[in-house]
Structure 1
Amino acid sequence: MVRISMALLALAAGCNPQPDDPVSGRALYDGYCVKCHGERGLGDGPMAAELPIAVADLSMLRESNGGVFPYEAVMTQIYGYPGRYHQGLMPEFGPVLEGQQIDWVSPSGQVVSTPRALVELVDYLEHLQQ
């Protein structure tokens, strides 16, 4: 298991947007995701070739989920499980995305208090779908 610190990721990304600032999902994506996932989410970012495993193609999430964008699964993957790193290289972004909370309604109808920055980022990822 490889761990990437959030400081290293922010340094590699070249910017560090603050989730409490009024920032769009695109700004968060550009700040934290582009270096690995690429401009269009294809997994072809400038750091992708340097990583020991293939970077996920984020543009096909809806297609690979029967035509439905998997909001909850994507939020879980990005947010991570506090205190535990993912099995792969992607770090957990929960601590970075903490800030203002909003009510997000899950597909099952449950209202969940969720970081606004996480919702905005996942909304942007839905926009990247082919």
Structure 2
Amino acid sequence: MRILMLTAALALSACVPFAAKQEAPSPKMDFADYCAGCHGAGGKGDGEAASGLPKRPADLTRLSARNHGHFPTTRVMAQIWGYTGKKGDGVMPDFSPLMQGEMVPYDGGDGIETPTPLRLVAIAEYLKTLQVK
């Protein structure tokens, strides 16, 4: 009986590495889960929590407009990840734990591809879709 139980346990444990990989949330889901509470579902800075903050969250739909028509991808990713050099000065939390995981080469515009968390790049790319013309 013990040998049968041990064999069954070993067989089950061997299946674990072959289990289906859990898919990462889509950028839209990450935005809804981590950003929309303050920035609003449409990114205009009108989320449910916005009224209780000392400073109104940024209108994420106007990032390109405020940057002469160019989306400031590297600055946006730095703000999300918490590398803006202003920790403690703003109200935006540090989402660096969320940005751990698969890395992809990303060129922030300087011609140098840097390993960057895939979910961070995906959220920045999603924010580009929210820009008003």
Which category of TM-score, normalised to the shorter sequence, fits these structures?
A: 0.7 to 0.9
Unaligned runs of 5+ residues in structure 2 are: 1-21
SS in 1 for 2:115: strand
1:89 maps to which of 84, 88, 91: 91
**TM, length-normalised to structure 2:** 0.77
Report the counterpart of residue 11 of structure 1 in structure 2.
Answer: none
Report the counterpart of residue 79 of structure 2 in structure 1.
Answer: 77
Unaligned runs of 5+ residues in structure 1 are: 1-19
- Determine which structure has more spread, i.e. the larger CA radius of gyration: 2
Structure 1 runs (4+) deviating above 4 angstroms are none
Cα 1:61–1:86 shift into 2, 3 Å: farther
Where is the helix percentage greater, Structure 1 or Structure 2?
2
Q: How many residues align?
A: 110
Partner amino acid, structure 2, of 1:26 = K
Report the counterpart of residue 7 of structure 1 in structure 2.
Answer: none
**TM, length-normalised to structure 1:** 0.79
Shift of 1:86: 4.6
Q: What is the 5 A alignment of 1:10-89?
A: 21-81=23-83, 85-89=87-91
Residues 32-82 of structure 1 show CA distances to partners (whole Å, capped at 9, x for unaligned) of 00010001100000110011111111000000000000000000000013x
Report 1 or 2 for greater relative contact order, CA contacts < 8 Å, sequence distance ≥ 6.
1
